[in-house]
């Protein structure tokens, strides 16, 4: 059986980690595209030369020609400028929209049957633009955000409670930015509500609520926290790992229920926008958006986040995209 073909558009930090993880997990053969001459060739050669050490037979190659992504089963797009200190995701809009438009045109031409995972920021706008330019069915275009945001939330909870992060379930909805919505009510450690565990730890409901609020805020600002520490770039290990979880769900038809930036047709009261929601990922991409009831406070936060996404898309439209 032939291996799947996975094309990475963008040879930066995330692209490099993606290529290595795909090879290590033997998800398929990798083609890394970048406009910088010899950059993708150098990165992929470095990864490929460790094949014997890491025990993989996947082919890992680099290219400066979009023609080489022809026949891709899956395309993961990271192309665009990373955030820098003091820069919001919205500040990236004009520059990265130009890049995403050219990427989408190339994918439409050379990989018209592929499923696309978009990582580029500002995420919700870039996924929308990619879908609009390619004309792909909504199920074949999905954004990576909720997996990462939910992982960050779960990690902070695990650190606070002193438990394995493998036993923490946490869900983050909404846009990929400062208005994202960590769902506190359903956060649990193997079924035990996190708020109950915090209240037992601190023996004080008010203190437990304060601790949770701090974790929620840290989750919302987690990307910026990494940017401020790195000074010269943004997160790349965790976004890459999160996209790989999505890729595995699609390539292995796992039917994983995870938070993803998916196109909504009335779910959660939203129509015609890409928003972070629980979705089942399988061989057809986004196979189903899974709704659940939000309480009044959660709904208000979700509405606020959706409004931020709408404004971002409107701004992109005013810029001519």
Q: What amino acid positions are annotated as catalytic residues?
A: 176
Three-state SS at 162: coil
Q: Measured between alpha carbons, how far is 151 from 219 in angstroms, rounded to an integer?
A: 9
The rounded distance, in Å, linking the Cα atoms of 88 and 308 is 13
- 55: its two tokens: 């025990």
Number of residues that make up the chain: 321
Instruction: Give the strand order in the sheet containing 74-77.
Output: 60-63, 29-33, 5-9, 74-77, 115-118, 141-143, 256-265, 271-282, 285-289
CA distances from 56 to 13, 60, 105, 284 (A): 21, 10, 32, 26
98 by DSSP, 3-state: which?
helix
Contacts (Cβ under 8 Å, ≥6 apart) of 225: 218
């Amino acid at each position: 059986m032939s291996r799947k073909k996975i094309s990475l558009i963008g040879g930066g930090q995330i692209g490099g980690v993606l290529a290595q993880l795909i090879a290590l997990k033997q998800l398929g053969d990798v083609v890394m595209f970048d406009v910088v001459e010899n950059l993708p060739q150098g990165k992929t050669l470095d990864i490929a030369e460790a094949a014997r050490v890491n025990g993989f037979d996947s082919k890992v190659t680099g290219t400066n020609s979009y023609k080489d992504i022809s026949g891709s089963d899956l395309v993961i797009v990271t192309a665009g400028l990373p955030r820098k200190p003091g820069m919001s995701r919205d500040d990236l809009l004009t520059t990265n929209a130009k890049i995403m438009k050219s990427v989408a045109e190339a994918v439409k031409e050379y990989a018209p049957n592929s499923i696309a995972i978009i990582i580029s920021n500002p995420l919700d706008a870039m996924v929308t633009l990619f879908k609009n330019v390619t004309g792909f069915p909504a199920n074949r275009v999905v954004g990576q955000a909720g997996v990462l945001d939910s992982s960050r939330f779960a990690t902070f909870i695990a650190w606070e409670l002193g438990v394995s992060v493998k036993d923490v379930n946490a869900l983050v909805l909404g846009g990929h930015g400062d208005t994202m919505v960590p769902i506190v009510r359903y956060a649990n450690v193997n079924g035990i509500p996190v708020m109950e565990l915090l209240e037992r730890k601190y023996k004080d409901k008010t203190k437990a609520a304060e601790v949770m609020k701090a974790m929620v805020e840290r989750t919302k600002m987690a990307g910026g926290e990494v940017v401020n520490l790195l000074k010269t770039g943004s997160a790349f290990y965790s976004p890459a790992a999160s996209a790989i979880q999505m890729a595995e769900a699609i390539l292995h038809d796992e039917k994983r229920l995870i938070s993803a930036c998916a196109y909504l047709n009335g779910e959660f009261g939203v129509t015609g926008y890409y928003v972070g929601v629980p979705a089942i990922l399988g061989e057809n991409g986004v196979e189903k958006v899974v709704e659940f009831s939000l309480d009044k406070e959660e709904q208000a936060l979700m509405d606020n986040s959706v409004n931020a996404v709408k404004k971002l898309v409107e701004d992109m439209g005013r810029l001519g995209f």
